Every structure is written in C-alpha cells, then in structure tokens.
C-alpha cells in the first residue's frame, strides 16, 4: 500500500481525493464522498459567519454568527473524520465477506462478523446524516441574519448538506437488511427518515429566505448546539 493510500482523506490534495474516488478501489466511495461534500457545506457556513462577525450592521445577530462559526468548524472536522470512518466500516464488511465458510462453525462466525460489520456500516453514515442536519440547520440560522453578499453561499451550503444527507441515508438503508436485527433496522430507518425530513425542511427554508432577500429578526439564543 502506498503511503498516500493510508493517509486520512483530509491530508490528500483535492485532486488526490478525486483520483482515489475515481479509481477501481471501492474506497473512498459514496459514503465518504457524501461526508466530504457536507464538510464543504460546513466550511461555507463558517465563511458566511466570518464575513458577518464584527460588522456593526449585523450586530444584533452576533450570537448567531459566533455559534454558527464554531459549529461550522466543528462539523467540518467531524465530517472529515466520518469520511475515513465510513471507508473503514466498508473495509470491515469487505473483510467479513472474505471469511471462510467451509464448515458450520466457519459459516456461523462469518455470519456474526457480517452482522457486526453491517451495523458499523449503517451507524457511521447515520452519523453523517445527523451532521448534515446540523450543517443545514446552521445555514438556515444565518439566512436573513448575515452578510447578504454571501447569501448564495448559504444556499450552496444547504444544497450540499441536503445532497450529502440523502447520499449517506442511502448507505444506511442498503446495509440494514444485513445487520441481522429487524428491530434495530426499523429503529435506524425511522431515525434516517426523521432526519431527512428535517434536512429537507431546513434546506427549503434556507433557499426561500436567500431568494427573498428578506432580513429576519434575531434568534433568541443564537444557533442550537
């Protein structure tokens, strides 16, 4: 394995990550790409907050700007970590698929390993969906309460967050039949459905406010989180 193949995705150049994505190697794949896309959305949130902080014209929204800036930075970092975790989770599942299955004992061990690996491969993208919801929520909180010259960047942040959430949700769902626990699968699917409903609503609200150009009143306590 070349050194760059073992490096965290955050340490690759943009071109290097894109080349890895387009290679025959199954990782990084759609899950990691979704997390990276959402991290870009989070950084756009950070940028818009930074362009609004300490501007007297937007002073009444100072708490929202400060919180969104912090959240954007934290979420970008979290999502890049999740990009690597998603690749590792897939690697675990691929390894479990290759386990021997000649004897009954080997078959049982392989099945148990596959169930465990499928759980990990479901939980990690679920965390990505959760982080995407937080990215879009932060973008929505800034819409109409930040520098209007950067308002289109909030729309892009919301679009990236929504697309990434749907991509990660697809990865959750595709692994649910393999986790070997119908109750857990139903719980995870319900969680994904709820998160996607929130993301859809928040992204639509962000776009509507950006398109309207209407200023909004301050939030009572900045941004949730």
Report the CATH number that the domain containing residue 115 is assigned in CATH.
1.20.120.680
pLDDT surpasses 70 at 1: no
In-domain check, residue 168: yes
In-domain check, residue 16: no
Percent of residues, the chain, with pLDDT higher than 90 = 89
In-domain check, residue 8: no
pTM metric for this prediction: 0.93
Return mean pLDDT, the chain.
93
Under 8 Å between Cβ of 165 and 129: yes
Contacts of 167 by beta carbon, 8 Å cutoff, 6+ apart:
30, 31, 33, 34, 37
Among 74, 84, 89, which residue's Cα sits nearest to residue 39?
74
pLDDT surpasses 50 at 101: yes
Enclosing domain of residue 189? 26-212
Angle at 8 between CA 70 and CA 46, to 5 degrees: 20
**Residues 64-86 pLDDT 10s:** 999 999 999 999 999 999 999 99
In-domain check, residue 167: yes
Range with the lowest mean pLDDT among 6-10, 27-31, 123-127? 6-10
In-domain check, residue 223: no
**Residues 116-166 pLDDT 10s:** 999 999 999 999 999 999 999 999 999 999 999 999 999 999 999 999 999
In-domain check, residue 176: yes
- Residue 45 burial (CB < 10 Å; 0-12/13-18/19+)? buried
Greatest pairwise CA separation for the chain in angstroms: 73
In-domain check, residue 19: no
- Res. 224 pLDDT band, cuts 50 70 90: very low
- pLDDT confidence of residue 5: 60
- Res. 191 pLDDT band, cuts 50 70 90: very high
Among 107, 103, 113, which residue's Cα sits nearest to residue 178?
113
In-domain check, residue 13: no
- Look at the chain and report how many structural domains it folds into: 1
């Amino acid at each position: 394995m070349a050194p760059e193949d073992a490096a965290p995705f955050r340490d690759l150049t943009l071109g290097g990550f894109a080349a890895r994505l387009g290679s025959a190697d199954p990782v990084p794949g759609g899950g990691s790409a979704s997390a990276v896309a959402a991290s870009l959305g989070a950084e756009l949130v950070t940028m818009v907050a930074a362009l609004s902080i300490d501007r007297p014209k937007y002073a009444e929204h100072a708490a929202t700007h400060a919180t969104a800036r912090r959240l954007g930075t934290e979420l970008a970092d979290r999502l890049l970590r999740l990009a690597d975790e998603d690749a590792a989770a897939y690697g675990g599942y691929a390894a479990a698929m290759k386990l021997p299955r000649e004897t009954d004992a080997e078959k049982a061990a392989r099945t148990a390993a596959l169930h465990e690996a499928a759980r990990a491969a479901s939980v990690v993208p679920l965390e990505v969906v959760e982080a995407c919801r937080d990215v879009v929520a932060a973008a929505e909180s800034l819409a109409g309460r930040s520098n209007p010259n950067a308002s289109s960047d909030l729309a892009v942040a919301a679009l990236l967050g929504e697309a990434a959430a749907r991509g990660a949700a697809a990865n959750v769902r595709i692994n649910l039949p393999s986790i070997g626990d119908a109750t857990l699968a139903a719980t995870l699917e319900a969680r994904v459905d709820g998160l996607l409903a929130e993301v859809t609503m928040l992204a639509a609200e962000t776009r509507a406010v950006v398109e309207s150009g209407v200023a909004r009143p301050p939030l009572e306590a900045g941004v949730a989180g």
